[in-house]
């Protein structure tokens, strides 16, 4: 994978008081999301604008940009400003830019992303951010929902926070992607991407927020549930583990933590993959919905 220079890191935090932005910011909901205007993503970002965008991303968790008619090369260049880009092992890539994943949904290829998830949490180093551009979409339908998982954690009852503080979850690529993996590639994918464990509660490396970091697309079980919580008799611990996981998964579905985007062509969404889940609503079949996504490699959750 091509190495890139390290992106400059922001020097202010969420606690630094009122922000001054070199672009226009309009909040989408009280809990998550902001629409950014007066910026042209076709042009290279200077350091001040990049750092401001990164601060806004950490603060609002997903940023929306309208009317950004970027080329695939410009899309990659903008995404690379945030860090090194991954190449997805399963999804179809752009022929000239392997960093760009192609989502081409229609009557011939129905979407399957209608599940709350955090991208590539099955990697040892899950994504820091993703940059998704709408190429073509239905007149209505095909919206995407993002969820503030820091707020989902903050609002958990204190006894639940205590229960999950030391738990670790197992994330696996296979259960969700097995239908898309060619049989001859299955063993290679399994060998290259074994299950990984991440903390159920991770700490955001820039904001310091605690984040509920389990998702129903990729988490298969809790690695240390019985060691941490114990059990009453026999295999009763397994039922307790499943009940707890279902309770944690359901937190993402609370509308109070969500923002919903109606796509238009040349809309770009940039989200902090560390602190959010998202859900692509599959209500548009058999209409056409075409998207391109670049994904920024992140750090090991702690």
Q: 224-254: per-residue pLDDT in tens? A: 998 888 766 767 788 889 999 999 999 999 9
Q: Do 264 and 126 meet the contact criterion of CB atoms below 8 Å apart? A: no
Mean pLDDT of 275-289: 95
Judge whether 55 counts as a catalytic residue. no
Lowest model confidence (mean pLDDT) among 88-97, 174-183, 213-222, 270-279: 174-183
What's this model's pTM, rounded to 2 decimal places?
Answer: 0.91
pLDDT of 109 strictly over 90: no
Mean pLDDT of 143-160: 98
pLDDT in tens, 4-47: 444 444 433 333 346 789 999 999 999 999 999 999 999 999 99
Q: Which of 55, 117, 168, 171 is catalytic?
A: 117
Q: Average pLDDT over the chain, rounded to whole?
A: 91
Q: Which of 75, 123, 204, 293 is catalytic?
A: 293
CATH topology match: 24-147+262-297 vs 149-252: yes
Report residue 266 as tokens: 């040349």
pLDDT of 140 strictly over 80: yes
Judge whether 198 counts as a catalytic residue. no
- pLDDT, position 6: 43
pLDDT of 138 strictly over 80: yes
- pLDDT, position 232: 66
Q: What CATH superfamily classification does 24-147+262-297 receive?
A: Clavaminate synthase-like (3.60.130.10)
From CA 267, how far away is CA 301, in angstroms rounded? Answer: 30
Nearest in space to 244 (alpha carbons), one of 161, 152, 126, 150: 161
Say if residue 89 is exposed, middle or buried (CB neighbours under 10 Å; 0-12, 13-18, 19+). middle
Greater confidence (7 vs 220) lies with 220
Report residue 287 as tokens: 């209409």
pLDDT in tens, 185-199: 889 999 999 999 999
pLDDT of 97 strictly over 60: yes
Q: Which of 75, 80, 119, 133 is catalytic?
A: 119
pLDDT in tens, 255-272: 999 999 999 999 999 999
What residue ranges do the domains of the chain occupy? 24-147+262-297, 149-252
Judge whether 119 counts as a catalytic residue. yes
- pLDDT, position 17: 44
Residues 146-180: b if buried by 16+ CB within 10 A, e if exposed: bbbbbbbbeebeeeeeebbeebbbbbbbbebbeee
Report residue 217 as tokens: 């697309």
- pLDDT, position 264: 97
Judge whether 166 counts as a catalytic residue. no
- pLDDT, position 18: 63
Name the pLDDT band for 49 (thresholds 50, 70, 90): very high
Mean pLDDT of 270-283: 97
Q: What percent of the chain has pLDDT over 70?
A: 93
**Class of CATH domain 149-252:** alpha beta
């Amino acid at each position: 994978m091509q190495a890139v220079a390290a992106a400059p890191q922001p020097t202010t935090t969420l606690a630094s008081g009122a922000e001054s932005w070199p672009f226009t910011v309009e909040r989408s909901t009280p809990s998550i999301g902001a629409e950014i205007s007066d910026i042209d993503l076709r042009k290279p970002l200077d350091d001040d604008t990049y750092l401001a965008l990164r601060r806004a991303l950490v603060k609002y968790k997903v940023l929306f940009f309208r009317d950004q008619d970027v080329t695939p090369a410009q899309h990659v260049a903008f995404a690379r400003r945030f860090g090194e880009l991954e190449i997805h092992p399963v999804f179809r890539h752009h022929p000239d830019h392997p960093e760009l994943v192609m989502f081409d949904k229609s009557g011939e290829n129905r979407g399957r992303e209608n599940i709350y998830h955090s991208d590539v949490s099955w990697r040892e180093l899950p994504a820091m951010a993703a940059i998704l551009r709408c190429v073509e979409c239905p007149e209505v339908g095909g919206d995407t929902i993002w969820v503030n998982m820091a707020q989902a954690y903050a609002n958990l009852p204190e006894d639940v926070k205590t229960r999950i503080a030391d738990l670790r979850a197992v994330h696996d690529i296979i259960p969700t992607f097995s239908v898309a993996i060619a049989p001859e590639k299955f063993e290679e994918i399994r060998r290259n991407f074994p299950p990984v464990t991440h903390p159920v509660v991770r700490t955001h490396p820039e904001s310091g927020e605690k984040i509920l970091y389990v998702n129903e697309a990729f988490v298969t079980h809790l690695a240390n549930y019985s060691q941490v919580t114990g059990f009453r008799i026999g295999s009763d611990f397994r039922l307790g583990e499943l009940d707890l996981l279902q309770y944690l998964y359901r937190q993402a579905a609370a509308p109070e933590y969500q923002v919903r985007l109606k796509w238009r062509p040349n809309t770009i969404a940039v989200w902090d993959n560390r602190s959010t889940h998202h859900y692509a609503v599959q209500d548009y079949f058999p209409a056409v919905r075409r998207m391109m996504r670049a994904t920024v490699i992140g750090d090991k959750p702690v």
